Structure 1
């Protein structure tokens, strides 16, 4: 089974991504860290129900990896935006991977360690509407370390021309917050709600 883990916002620089997210969300993000395998770094925000939001960008102080960076960051340009999402999968190293994924790699960041399924070209299947796949193993989930933001994810909408195929690929997920709709072009959007009922669309 898949379990919703977190949202991913990409930016050309981490400072720009954090500023963009904080302006829209009305709360401050927390410092994350570096991902040495991919030459990226991030900032995080805790959401309700054990979820979190990640802003990620290429780290100018990091090295250029020999392989493609995750989440399609080598191809990313333009304004910060929601580009994909991630689901937890227990026992990821022992499961067959969906089409478009190549291998599972072990990663670390500070005290955190986890397994991640890498896509063949760095970009996730279905134009990044398919989630990245992660297994935290025995590492405490990052959301448990983050301050409460008062924000809750109400809906993640995945729009794609091959909506039926995407829905079939996501049969291991049972989450009423995720909608899959047919559209002429792929797009992800998330609706968050503040503690006082205000809606925010990413």
Structure 2
């Protein structure tokens, strides 16, 4: 097993906010109604989940009470950052963590975690947090289930059996594109980077063949991502969901086409999530 993304599966994308109910309502209004996940073992945070057929999911993360201080993501939750993190799944967590350490990336863990589901079952898993940053921001964190995955990731009625099959990719915002590309090449064995400029969103963009991460940096005229980076640092600003039928998805969710140099059709849901956060759709091959 190597340490690149070929060793992992996209596990989940995180949206953070002060009010879980209002976040859930926003997604439900788009036909992406989440299932309540439960309270984490820390007693402070809880979540709701939009679970897709491919096993990936969207996690809506908040505190149980508004005045509570969450571990690790206090500012992201307190300021309703919206898209803020992502995780990749592995069946060999310790091996993957050691491989990443040997590449020069700091790794915390494995860290045991658990959550009591709404029906009383205990879901347990382990994580490894990468880099000196909030978990899942500049780099994904690693996750491995220790109880049946279905306990941690409920399937959602709102998307089960539909053309929306899972989370396709993450849009990572950084201030220095070339530095971030070099880090991902080194730590995750990525290659075949394609660089381009997105004139619609005023971004410099780097994509890697076969990877779920697209790295972006703001051009001088870009205000929304520059302000987001100044506020939170490097972290995801959006995610793309995969659809098998773009026209069908566009007929029920308001989408704005995204001009980009790929053969797939893609579009953004026409509203913001948190602080300049976005959620889009891309047609699978």
Same fold, TM-score > 0.5, yes or no: yes
Match of 1:37 among 38, 42, 47: 42
Aligned residue in 1 for 2:224: none
Match of 1:115 among 116, 126, 131: 126
Match of 1:188 among 237, 247, 266: 237
Match of 1:163 among 155, 170, 180: 180
Partners of 1:129 and 1:120 lie apart in 2 by 8
What secondary structure sits across from 2:249 in the alignment? coil
Structure number with larger C-alpha Rg: 2
Contact persistence 1:167–1:180 (CA under 8 A)? no
Partners of 2:43 and 2:129 lie apart in 1 by 11
User: What are the within-5 Å matches in structure 2 for residues 47-196 of structure 1?
Assistant: 47-60=52-65, 69-70=71-72, 72=73, 74-76=74-76, 77-79=78-80, 81-94=82-95, 95-96=97-98, 98=101, 99-110=105-116, 111-118=122-129, 123-124=134-135, 128-141=137-150, 145-148=154-157, 149=159, 150=162, 151-152=164-165, 153-160=167-174, 161=176, 162-168=179-185, 169-171=187-189, 175-183=210-218, 185=229, 186=234, 187-192=236-241, 196=248
Partners of 1:52 and 1:18 lie apart in 2 by 14
How many residues are matched? 194
What secondary structure sits across from 1:165 in the alignment? helix
Contact persistence 2:39–2:47 (CA under 8 A)? yes
Partners of 1:58 and 1:43 lie apart in 2 by 11
Partners of 2:212 and 2:108 lie apart in 1 by 28
- More displaced 10-residue stretch of structure 1: 163-172 or 82-91: 163-172
What secondary structure sits across from 2:27 in the alignment? helix
1:197 matches 2:281:
no
Aligned residue in 2 for 1:5: 11
